[in-house]
Structure 1
Amino acid sequence: MAMTREDNELLTRVENGAPMGDMIRQHYWIPAVPSAKLVADGAPVLVRLLGTNYVAFRATDGHVGIVDELCPHRRTSLMMARNENNGLRCIFHGWKMDATGAVVEAPNQVGDQAQFCKRVKTGQHRVEERGGLIWVWLGKGETPPRFPELPFMDLPPEHRSVTSVEVPTNWVQAVEASMDSSHVGVLHESTTQITAGGGNERMIMTKALAPRFEFEDRPYGYRYAALRDMPDEKVYARVNNFVMPWYGIICPPDAKGPTTVFFSTPVDDVTHRAWFVHYNPHRPLGMTIMSATPDVWNFPPLPPGTREESFGQNRDLMKRGHATGFYQHLGTEDFAMFLGQGPIYDRTQEQLCSADGAVLRVRALLLKAAREFMAGKTPALADSPELDYSKAVSVGGVVEAGADWRTLTDAK
């Protein structure tokens, strides 16, 4: 059954007091900017989250601050501020804010300047730097939510890479794609071959396009096994995890190989930031298609053309065997599909099939959390007593037909 228009609005909207946006703001830490993007005393970086603009900066002592973009005095952008002596100094009148967001200097105020600064109201946001990312909590109160201690969080820097890019579509389209296993063998057929090589197990996905699914609820969301039959009475199982509200943890291509976490944070109703954390808990990551990025704030590349140009699809390359004509990156192929769906995908018109169970579960969990929040409750999956983000480990492998795929996960 297609989604109702009311549910589609509740699922996708995050601005101007929308319940989904307010639920995320209060109950989840939000990735804001890659750590590598911020340099001590360097230029501030504009960060837009849930329809509101902020400025991120690294102070002289290395601490990171995320503050409201507009100076509390005369409301000009702190993007132009000087970053000096452990604070941002507005170039309009010289007011200075430290990394906590507090005003510490107001040089044009006569009298007791320190006392005056204490009375200035500012947005002060809790910030953490973990896993190669700067995280921010935008909620109200003194106690932040549980921090997402995902498996990549405390690895050495050489074991992971972090990249991201802003995409002009709603965030849920991308979250759904991270859990849509059946699109991989079609949309990513050529990029899978390029990155995996012809003998890699992942190539099975390009042959068996209709996997069977088995699901398990978890305290952080759910995990599922996509099962594809192979010759000789064997089954290729890929066990992936969805972690609320937006993390898709994808199994490595082979044992001891790198894992990827795809997540998409809402910039506003019609824009999201796509994140790619590529990591290997077993050894240094080295050069990969993910780590070899020229720009951690703008990678992978967006499709190079307009809708009228089929988003820059290369039909000549398709004639030579490429499945999609978007050769730039696996992410570029996904972005083209999101753009093709429109700024906010209309789910009232879709016609789903047996392969869409994981996508439906993503929607159901997000809607349930929004409704719990609207009822004045803490969403169950945001603060379950059993919540342990570190257990969201995804694996893949071959098992005997009829064997339980959980034998792959139990050994991890």
Structure 2
Amino acid sequence: MAMTREDNELLTRVENGAPMGEMIRQHYWLPAVPSVKLEADGAPVHVKLLGTSYAAFRATDGSVGIVDEQCPHRKTSMLLGRNENNGLRCIFHGWKVNTSGAVVEAPNHSGDQERFCKNVRVNKYTVREAGGIVWVWLGKGETAPKFPDLPFTSLPVSQRSVTSTEVPTNWVQGVEASMDSSHVGVLHESTTQITAGGGNERMHMNVALAPKLEFEDQPYGYRYAALRDLPDGKIYARVNNFVMPWYGIICAPDAKGPSTVFFSTPVDDVTHRAWFVHFNPHRPLGMTIMSATPDVWNYPPLPPGNKENNWGQNRDLMKRGHATGFPQHLGTEDFAMFIGQGRIADRTTEQLCAADGAVLRVRQQLLRSVREFMEGKVPTFAGNPLLDYSKAVSIGGVLAADEHWQSLVAAN
């Protein structure tokens, strides 16, 4: 059944007090910036989340702060400020904020400066650094929500890589794609061949395009298996996890190989930041298509064109066998699809099929959560006492016809 226009608005909108944005702000940590983008006493970095702009900076002592972009004094941009002596100083009048967001100096005030600073009203945000990412909680109150301690957040830097880029579409389009198993063997057919090699299990997806989906609800969201019948009577099972509100944890292509977490965080209503975390819990990651990035803040690349030239699609390359004409990266292929859906996808006229069950569950869980929030409740997936993000481990493998996919999970 197609979505109503009202539900599509409720699902996608995050700005100007929209319920979804307020629910996320209060009950979830948001990834803000890759850790390596922030240099001690270096330039602050512009971060936009849920339609609001912030300045992220690393202080002299290595601690990290995220503050409102506008100075609390005369509202000019703190992105122009000097990062010095454990604080960010506005170059307009010299007001200085520390990493907690508190004003600690107001040199143009002639009275008791210390007392004055203590009474300046500021928004203070809780910040945490883990897994190569600086995270922020933007909500109100003294107690932050449970931190998303996902399978990569405690790994050493040698076992993970983090990249992200800004995409000019609504965030839900990216989240849905992370749980859309049936597009992989079609959209990413050539990318899989290029990056996987002939013996990689992912090649099975190019043979069996129509998976059967089976689901298990979890305190953090859901786990599901995409089951593909192989010509030899065996089954290729890919067990992936959706973690509210946007994490798609994708299984490794083969045993002891690297896994990937895709997540799409809302910049505003019509822009999202696509994050790619490639990690290997078993050994150093080494050089991969994900870790060999030229720019952790703008990678993978967006499609190289616009609508007038089919977003830079290379039709000559397609004539030579490439499935999509976007050879840059699998992320580039995805971004082209999101952009082709429009800034905010119209879900009211979709015609869905059996392969879309995981996408529907993403929508259902997001809508359930925002409706619970609107009723004054803590959303079930945010407040479940059994919530344990570390359990969201994804795995794949080839099974005998009489084996159940749950055996892969139990053995992990």
**TM over 0.5, shorter chain:** yes
Q: Does 1:62 align with 2:62?
A: yes
1:242-257 alignment, distance < 5 Å: 242-257=242-257
> Which residue is equivalent to 1:16?
16
Q: Which amino acid aligns with 1:379?
A: P
* CA distance in 1: counterparts of 2:190 and 2:280, whole angstroms: 23
* CA distance in 1: counterparts of 2:124 and 2:294, whole angstroms: 33
SS in 2 for 1:298: coil
> Which residue is equivalent to 1:300?
300
> Which residue is equivalent to 2:97?
97
* CA distance in 2: counterparts of 1:300 and 1:205, whole angstroms: 23
> Which residue is equivalent to 1:366?
366
Q: Does 1:108 align with 2:97?
A: no
> Which residue is equivalent to 2:39?
39
* CA distance in 1: counterparts of 2:387 and 2:120, whole angstroms: 38
Shift of 1:212: 0.4
Moved over 4 A (4+): none
Q: Which amino acid aligns with 1:59?
A: A
Shift of 1:123: 1.2
* CA distance in 2: counterparts of 1:405 and 1:349, whole angstroms: 34
SS in 2 for 1:184: helix
SS in 2 for 1:162: strand
Shift of 1:188: 0.1
Shift of 1:200: 1.2
SS in 2 for 1:338: helix
* CA distance in 1: counterparts of 2:79 and 2:279, whole angstroms: 32
Question: Greater shift after overlay, 200-209 or 262-271?
Answer: 200-209
Shift of 1:23: 0.1
Shift of 1:402: 2.6
Deviations 1:281-307 (Å, cap 9, x if unpaired)?
A: 000000000000010000000000001
Deviations 1:30-49 (Å, cap 9, x if unpaired)?
A: 00000010000000000000
SS in 1 for 2:56: strand
> Which residue is equivalent to 1:74?
74
Deviations 1:55-87 (Å, cap 9, x if unpaired)?
A: 000000000000000000000001110000000
Question: Greater shift after overlay, 225-234 or 2-11?
Answer: 225-234
1:215-294 alignment, distance < 5 Å: 215-294=215-294
Deviations 1:312-347 (Å, cap 9, x if unpaired)?
A: 000010011000000000000000000000000000
1:340-355 alignment, distance < 5 Å: 340-355=340-355
* CA distance in 2: counterparts of 1:60 and 1:195, whole angstroms: 41
Shift of 1:242: 0.1
> Which residue is equivalent to 1:201?
201
Q: Structure 1: state its 5+ residue gaps.
A: none
The number of residues matched between the two structures is 412
* CA distance in 1: counterparts of 2:56 and 2:235, whole angstroms: 47
Shift of 1:113: 0.2
Shift of 1:231: 2.5
Deviations 1:231-276 (Å, cap 9, x if unpaired)?
A: 3321000000000000000000000000000000000000000000
Deviations 1:360-380 (Å, cap 9, x if unpaired)?
A: 000000000000000000000
Q: Does 1:149 align with 2:114?
A: no
* CA distance in 1: counterparts of 2:405 and 2:252, whole angstroms: 15
* CA distance in 1: counterparts of 2:81 and 2:109, whole angstroms: 19
Shift of 1:110: 0.5
Question: Greater shift after overlay, 401-410 or 286-295?
Answer: 401-410
> Which residue is equivalent to 1:3?
3
* CA distance in 2: counterparts of 1:331 and 1:233, whole angstroms: 32
Shift of 1:129: 0.3
Q: Which amino acid aligns with 1:245?
A: P
SS in 2 for 1:369: helix
SS in 1 for 2:323: coil
Q: Which amino acid aligns with 1:340?
A: G
Q: Which amino acid aligns with 1:102?
A: A
* CA distance in 1: counterparts of 2:37 and 2:207, whole angstroms: 40
Q: Structure 2: state its 5+ residue gaps.
A: none
Q: Which amino acid aligns with 1:183?
A: H
* CA distance in 2: counterparts of 1:22 and 1:96, whole angstroms: 29
> Which residue is equivalent to 1:85?
85
> Which residue is equivalent to 2:398?
398
